Structure 1
């Protein structure tokens, strides 16, 4: 679908992508202006739609582009030879914190996507986000040493409780961000709070 755009030289691709990410991250989907994007990127509006079709398709492309870039780097940095469940989660959070420093604009855009409630894209994006979460969770659980968990409690229920705990924590963070003026998220605070949950869950479900 985006073959015309992907056939461009990388410098021009990056210029368009960076301009679009900046505009959507700052203003959200509905208020983002394609006029501002083409002005920043130094191309015509006709060319932008030639590459992407419309604003909605461009937004979908950017989401896939950013999540693929971040996920690929994330999987390279996380040590999947680590079999302890909670140690791997801790490691994953630390990697994410490091990547926030190296890819702030990409993370800001992805964060805004998860906060987005535009009716034009909400249904489709909710589905995309659910699919992405499911795939990443399956990958994350690969190779975990489940023998460390208690045998007197159903393992599937334990994993569901842990998953629900962190999903709820994530929902609370996003809801708080929605109510803040600049959608700011205090990642260090999240890290500290998550560690408290690790301690409780380890005591509850490890032998």
Structure 2
């Protein structure tokens, strides 16, 4: 990427970024034309290629940039002193909803990267796995394990909840008219189910 991109006024940078998220989130990578991104950002196609030498470079830039947005919202929504496993899960869901509300196309973009089948997806497989593993390790390192029933495999529990959450979010993600209240109540039901199944009775609400 040409460093001159960062010399653009912030509103111009955001116009390109937002146009990229919108186009890539609504189409496959292969069917996302740079000309459409340029048109929506109100710049010429040649100028877009001046800042990003090709579509792949822009795509990977947007992939990395979305985690700047994610980390900013996570810092606002996740209590650094919280140690309750399920409360952390709910806080994590809250920051995902906030990302969806504030940056809808960025959220849809990052969700689609898990299902892309084009060449660029191969470069993201390792990154997606690394991000997921880091998140899980951070979670496991801070939770209060004494609340769980004896014999609970917490690592496996994280994976199972992740699979359930992925299916739930994917279903809601396919709906263009996302209902935030429905997402909130639906995910809470998932968490309540696992909480009752794995926590000792004295730690249940």
| Pair in the same fold by TM > 0.5 | yes
Task: Specify every segment of 5 or more residues in structure 1 that has no aligned partner in the other structure, as ranges.
Answer: none
Cα separation, 2, equivalents of 1:171 and 1:53: 34
Paired position in structure 2 for 1:206: 199
Q: Quick check: 2:113–2:121 contact (8 Å CA) kept in 1?
A: no
Name the structure 2 match of 1:65.
65
**Residue matched to 2:203:** none
Corresponding position of 1:131? 130
Deviations 1:40-90 (A, max 9, x none): 222232322222221011101011111221222222221121111111212
Number of the residue aligned with 2:117: 117
User: C-alpha distance in 2, partners of 1:80/1:63?
Assistant: 26
Q: Secondary structure at the match of 2:133?
A: helix
Structure 2 unaligned runs (5+)?
201-205
SS across alignment from 1:30: coil
Q: TM-score, normalised by structure 1?
A: 0.81
Q: Aligned-pair distance for 1:159?
A: 1.7
Q: CA deviation at 1:105?
A: 2.4
Corresponding residue number in structure 1 for 2:151: 153
Report the Cα offset of residue 174 of structure 1.
6.5
Distance change >3 Å, CA 68–CA 139, structure 1 → 2: farther
CA contact (8 A) 2:136 2:158 kept: no
Instruction: Measure, in 1, the Cα distance between the counterparts of 2:140 and 2:75.
Output: 13
What is the aligned length?
A: 200
Contact 1:173 1:185 in 2 (8 A): no
TM-score (norm 2): 0.82
Deviation at 1:148, TM superposition (A): 1.6
RMSD: 2.6
1:189 positional shift: 4.8
Superposed, 1:41-190 pairs within 5 Å as 41-118=41-118, 120-150=119-149, 152-153=150-151, 158-173=153-168, 176=171, 188-190=181-183
- Structure 1 residues 59 and 92: CA distance shift in structure 2, 3 A: same
